[in-house]
Amino acid sequence: MKAKRRIRPGDIPTASMADIAFLLLIFFLVTTTIDMDKGLALVLPPMGEQKEVPKKNLSTILISDRGKILLDKEPVEIKDIKRIVKEKLANNDKLIISVKTHKRAKYQTYVDVLDQLKQANATRISIAEPGI
């Protein structure tokens, strides 16, 4: 007895191809993490440009090597800077805040202070050159 050979059609079903491709597309869309840079923006003062600023429009923040802060010669806590600067800005909207750091001060402390200033919506922030 001879078995009859069945001839199967040789084409691949393509009906679900679109679904497979969609799945791939969605997989790649979901898995690619676009890591945007986040941070505190600041514009540095141009070199060699010195402006005379009236004393009443200037506030200085000094950061010591141990992370202690002096705001206008008064010791303050980092978390209080926001409130104090906000009050000062409400009194004088032309206020420029100058930040000066000790050379052994930690970068994290500096970023904390900048963060507080940003939270107080201070826009005129100046970085004082050390040793002057």
Residue 61's closest CA among 85, 42, 45?
85
The CA-based angle 99-105-111, given to 5 degrees, is 55
Shortest CB 86 distance to another protein, Å = 13
- In the complex, minimum distance from the CB of residue 88 to another protein, in angstroms, rounded to a whole number: 18
Indicate the pairing of strand 74-76 with strand 58-63. unpaired
What is the pairing mode between strands 125-127 and 96-101? parallel
What is the closest distance, in whole angstroms, from the C-beta atom of residue 129 to another protein in the complex? Answer: 7
Burial (CB count within 10 angstroms: exposed 0-12, middle 13-18, buried 19+), residue 28: exposed
Binding site for another protein (CB under 8 A): 14-15, 17-18, 20-22, 24-25, 28-29, 32, 34-47, 63, 101-108, 110-112, 114-115, 118-119, 127, 129-130
Shorter beta-carbon distance to another protein: residue 17 or 90: 17
Q: Toward another protein, which CB reaches closer, 4 or 38?
A: 38
CB of 124 to another protein, least distance (A): 14
**Of 23 and 90, CB closest to another protein:** 23
Coil, helix or strand at residue 11: coil
